[in-house]
Amino acid sequence: MYPRLLTLPAFEWLGWNVGPITLHTYGVLLATAFLVGLFVTSRHARRAGLDTARVTDLAIYKLMLLAVEWDYYSQHPRELLYLLRTGGVFYGGFLAAAPLAWWYMKRHALPAWRVADVLAPGLVVGQAIGRLGCFAAGCCHGHPTDVPWAVTFRDIYATRTVGTPIDTPLHPTQIYEAFALLFIYLALLWLAPRKRFHGQVVLVYVVLYAAARFGLEFLRGDAARGAVLEGLLSTSQFLSIVLCVVSLVVAPYLAKRQRVASP
Q: Grade residue 68 by pLDDT with cuts at 50, 70 and 90.
A: very low
First to last CA, the chain: 57
Q: What is the domain count for the chain?
A: 1
Answer whether residue 121 is part of any domain: yes
84: domain range? 4-192
CA 228 to chain centre: 21
Q: Report the predicted TM-score, pTM, of the whole model to 2 decimal places.
A: 0.78
Answer whether residue 160 is part of any domain: yes
Sign of CA dihedral 168, 173, 178, 179: positive
Q: Grade residue 78 by pLDDT with cuts at 50, 70 and 90.
A: very low
CB 70 within 8 A of CB 45: no
What pLDDT was estimated at residue 189? 93
Closest among 188, 197, 194, 35 to 111, alpha carbons compared:
197
Answer whether residue 257 is part of any domain: no
The SS3 call for residue 23 is strand
What pLDDT was estimated at residue 241? 92
CA 131/CA 80 separation, integer angstroms: 20
Within 8 A by CB and 6+ apart from 119, the residues are 41, 55, 58, 59, 101, 202
Answer whether residue 240 is part of any domain: no
pLDDT at residue 59 tops 70: no
**DSSP category for residue 142:** B
Answer whether residue 81 is part of any domain: yes
Answer whether residue 260 is part of any domain: no
Answer whether residue 35 is part of any domain: yes
Answer whether residue 246 is part of any domain: no
